[in-house]
A and B are shown apart, each in its own frame.
Chain A
Amino acid sequence: MKWLFFAIKNVLRNGRRSLLTVLLTAVGSAAILIGGGFALFTYEALREASVRDTGHLIVAHHDFFTNDEELPMQHGLGGHAEVAARLAAIPRVRAVLPRLQLSGLITNGDKSAVFVGTGIDAGGEFAVRGALFTVTEGSTLSTEPSVGGMPEIMLGKDLARQLRVRPGGSLTLLATTTEGALNAQDVVVKGVFSAGTPEIDKRAVLMHLGTAQKLILTDKVSTLAVYLRETADTEPMRGVVATELPSYARQTWRDQATFYVGVRGLYDRIFGLLGAVLVAMVLFAVSNTLGMAVVERTREIGTLRALGAFPADVVRNFVLEGAVVGAAGAGFGMALALGVSLGVDFVGVSMPPPPGRSVGYPLHVEVSPPLYVMTAIVVVGASVIAAWLVSRRAAAKSIVEALIHV
Chain B
Amino acid sequence: MSAAAQSAAAPVVEIVGVTKSYQLGRTRVAALRGVTLSVRAGEFVGLTGPSGSGKSTLLHICGLIDRPDAGSYRLDGRDTDGLSARELSLLRRERIGFVFQSFNLMPALSVYENVEVPLLLGGVGPSGRAPRIHEALERVGIGSLARRRPDELSGGQRQRVALARALVKLPTVIVADEPTANLDGETATQVIDLMRGLGRTLGTTVVVATHDVRLTSHCDRVVALTDGVTR
Contacts and interface: CB of A to CB of B under 8 A. Distances in A.
Contacts of B165: 307
B60 interface: yes
Given A307-B92, A310-B86, A310-B89, A400 B60 contact: yes
B104 interface: yes
Contact of A308 (B60, B106, B109, B122): B122
A306 B65 contact: yes
Interface of chain A, helix or strand or loop or mixed?
Answer: helix
A300 B90 contact: no
A307 B96 CA distance: 8
Interface string A299-319: 110111111111001000000
Given A9-B109, A400-B65, A303 B104 contact: yes
A295 to B, nearest CB: 15
A306 B108 contact: no
A12 B108 contact: yes
B90 A308 contact: yes
Contacts of B90: 308
B178 interface: no
Interface of A: 2-3, 6, 9-10, 12-13, 299-300, 302-310, 313, 398-400, 403
B98 A307 contact: yes
A2 B60 CA distance: 29
Given A399-B66, A400-B66, A13 B108 contact: yes
Interface in B78-117: 86, 89-94, 96, 98, 100, 102, 104, 106-109, 113, 116-117
A298 to B, nearest CB: 11
Contact of B121 (A12, A13, A307, A400): A307
A308 B113 contact: no
A403 B108 contact: no
Question: How many B residues touch the partner, as a band?
Answer: 20 to 34
Contacts of B130: none
Contacts of A13: 107-108
17 contacts: A2-B116, A12-B108, A303-B98, A303-B100, A303-B104, A306-B65, A306-B98, A307-B92, A307-B98, A308-B90, A308-B118, A308-B121, A309-B89, A310-B86, A399-B65, A400-B65, A403-B104
Given A6-B109, A399-B66, A304 B117 contact: yes
Given A307-B117, A400-B60, A403-B65, A299 B104 contact: yes
Interface of B: 60, 63, 65-66, 86, 89-94, 96, 98, 100, 102, 104, 106-109, 113, 116-118, 120-122, 165
A307 B93 contact: yes
Contacts of B89: 305, 308-310
A98 to B, nearest CB: 73
B108 A10 contact: yes
Contacts of B108: 6, 9-10, 12-13
Contacts of A3: 120
Q: Which 4 A-B pairs have the closest CB atoms?
A: A308-B93, A13-B108, A399-B65, A303-B104
Contacts, number: 62
Contacts of B94: 308
A310 B102 CA distance: 22
Given A303-B98, A310-B86, A398-B66, 9 more contacts: A6-B109, A9-B108, A12-B108, A299-B104, A300-B104, A304-B121, A308-B94, A399-B65, A400-B66
Contacts of B100: 303, 403
A199 B121 CA distance: 73
A399 B66 CA distance: 8
A398 B100 CA distance: 17
A184 to B, nearest CB: 89
A125 to B, nearest CB: 68
Contacts of A403: 65, 100, 104
Nearest to A1: B126
A320 to B, nearest CB: 13
A6 B113 contact: yes
Nearest to A12: B108
Contact of A2 (B66, B107, B120): B120
Contacts of A2: 116, 120
B127 to A, nearest CB: 13
A307 B60 CA distance: 13
Nearest to B102: A299
B55 to A, nearest CB: 14
Contacts of A300: 104, 106
Nearest to A9: B108
Contacts of B96: 308
Nearest to A303: B104
A333 B202 CA distance: 54
A302 B104 CA distance: 9
A309 B100 CA distance: 17
B85 to A, nearest CB: 8
